[in-house]
């Protein structure tokens, strides 16, 4: 209302502004979490830039080995830049080695004047310019990768299928923004009511990131198309192998896969293992079986034959399907997680639900790996009867 006293809002104090700024920069992470993230990023970057250095320094020792590593790392970093940015970075580094520069001039009165300035500041500005250019590229690439990640998430199943008498859980962790791992649970209609089958799939395309993710999408599309027909599992694998061979660049981009078709009413399952890590079938008695039968990975030989084998899931039995990123996860000592540790975890959690076992598995992997960067996609699918 006119004449009414206006409300005044006191400006935040400098301390409050600083806290808001820090909160925005760190996204609420604690110092130890920031350091852990930095350590993981540093190791990942060194691994990226140092690829192939071992062969260049083999047989060398002492100062010369250190010099060769430094030189190789310098060129590895420099060659990731465009030619124009390389020149800008080199010029900036040169300026950083000259703390000051200047010139003299005389005026009309005959006096000599000396002008000095710190060229390191100019060098810092040039390095900042290179950083901004690289950051712009990274932001654009990250945006595109996030879109690709969203698209890939649409290809994967959402909430687990509700299957009476069975419990299902699954999860995947990409090493990069997008992954080459694939998992699915597909209902295949039978010839008559009550004869429906459930297809469990876990696959791993050779490689990581965008190339593997694109081939994973091709695998998913071909699988969905073929599984909609009433072909046997062996014929389904033949069709998948044909699709894979047409997109594998002569076998370079092959795909390992495990497929199991379950009859929920009886627990009978037919499976094919195409070069994949052998899933673990843990019986309620505690005995463990490896489901290895099948054939070579998909995409290597067009005429390859994959053998379908039958087994049965009894009440209390577990089927654990995983990719190599799980058992080959590496800690800071270079040790792998390995399959025996996975089997021990399954034994210790055999009375729990698949969702609970999956949580325990991921927590155990986190504790084992620590700050070591993840080097491969991790995927696990758990099925329990009863």
- Of the chain, the percentage scoring pLDDT greater than 90 comes to 37
Considering 63-67, 126-130, 224-228, 351-355, the range whose residues carry the highest mean pLDDT is 351-355
Indicate if the pLDDT at residue 11 is higher than 80.
no
Give the chain's domain count: 1
Q: How confident is the model at residue 380 (pLDDT cuts 50, 70, 90)?
A: very high
Calculate the average pLDDT of the chain.
Answer: 85
The pLDDT of residue 9: 61
Using one digit for the tens of pLDDT, what is the confidence trace for 243-292?
888 877 776 789 999 999 999 999 999 999 999 999 999 999 999 999 99
Q: How confident is the model at residue 213 (pLDDT cuts 50, 70, 90)?
A: confident
SS3 234: helix
263 lies in some domain: yes
* Mean pLDDT value across residues 314-318: 95
Helix axes 233-245, 209-227, angle to 10 degrees: 140
Residue that has been written with the tokens 């959690």 in this structure? 349
Using one digit for the tens of pLDDT, what is the confidence trace for 324-367?
999 999 998 889 999 999 999 999 999 999 999 999 999 999 99
SS3 306: coil
For residue 41, give every residue at least 6 positions away whose Cβ sits within 8 Å of its Cβ, in sequence order, or none.
Answer: 373
221 lies in some domain: yes
At 198, which CATH number? 3.60.40.10
160 lies in some domain: yes
Domain residue limits at 214: 156-385
351 lies in some domain: yes
**Pair 268, 262: CB distance under 8 Å:** yes
79 lies in some domain: no
265 lies in some domain: yes
30 lies in some domain: no
The pLDDT of residue 285: 93
Bridge partner list, 105? 113
The pLDDT of residue 368: 94
Q: 364 vs 159, which has greater pLDDT?
A: 364
Q: Where are the alpha helices (DSSP H) in the chain?
A: 14-26, 31-49, 53-56, 62-78, 83-96, 119-155, 209-227, 233-245, 324-327, 339-348, 354-369
50 lies in some domain: no
CA–CA gap between residue 90 and residue 127 (Å, rounded): 9
């Amino acid at each position: 209302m006119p004449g009414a006293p206006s409300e005044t809002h006191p400006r935040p104090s400098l301390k409050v502004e600083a806290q808001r700024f820090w909160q925005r920069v760190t996204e609420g992470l604690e110092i130890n979490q920031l350091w852990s993230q930095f350590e993981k990023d540093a190791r990942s970057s060194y691994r990226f830039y140092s690829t192939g250095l071992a062969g260049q320094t083999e047989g060398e020792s002492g100062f010369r080995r250190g010099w060769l590593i430094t030189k190789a790392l310098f060129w590895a970093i420099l060659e990731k830049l465009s030619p124009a940015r390389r020149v800008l970075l080199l010029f900036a580094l040169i300026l950083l080695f000259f703390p000051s520069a200047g010139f003299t001039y005389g005026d009309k009165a005959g006096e000599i004047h000396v002008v000095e300035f710190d060229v390191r500041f100019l060098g810092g500005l040039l390095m900042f310019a290179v950083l901004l250019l690289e950051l712009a590229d990274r932001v654009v690439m990250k945006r595109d990768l996030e879109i690709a990640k969203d698209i890939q998430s649409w290809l994967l199943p959402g909430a687990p299928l509700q299957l009476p008498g069975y419990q299902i859980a699954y999860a995947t962790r990409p090493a990069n923004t997008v992954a080459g791992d694939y998992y699915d649970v597909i209902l295949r209609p039978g010839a008559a009511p009550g004869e429906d089958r459930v297809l469990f799939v876990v696959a791993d395309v050779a490689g990581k990131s965008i190339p593997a993710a694109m081939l994973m999408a091709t695998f998913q599309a071909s699988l969905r198309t073929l599984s909609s027909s009433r072909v046997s599992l062996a014929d389904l694998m033949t069709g998948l192998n044909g699709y894979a061979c047409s997109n594998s660049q002569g076998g370079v981009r092959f795909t390992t896969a495990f497929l199991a078709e379950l009859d929920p009413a009886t627990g009978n399952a037919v499976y094919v293992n195409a070069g994949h890590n052998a899933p673990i079938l843990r019986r309620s008695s505690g005995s463990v079986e490896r489901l290895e039968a099948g054939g070579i990975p998909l995409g290597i030989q067009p005429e390859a034959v994959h053998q379908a084998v039958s087994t049965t899931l009894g009440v209390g039995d577990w089927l654990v399907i995983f990719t190599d990123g799980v058992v080959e996860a590496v800690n800071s000592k270079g040790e792998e997680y390995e399959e025996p540790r996975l089997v021990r975890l399954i034994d210790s959690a055999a009375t729990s639900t698949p969702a609970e076992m999956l949580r325990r598995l991921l927590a155990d992997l986190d504790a084992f790996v620590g700050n070591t960067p993840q080097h491969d996609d991790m995927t696990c699918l758990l099925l329990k009867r009863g």
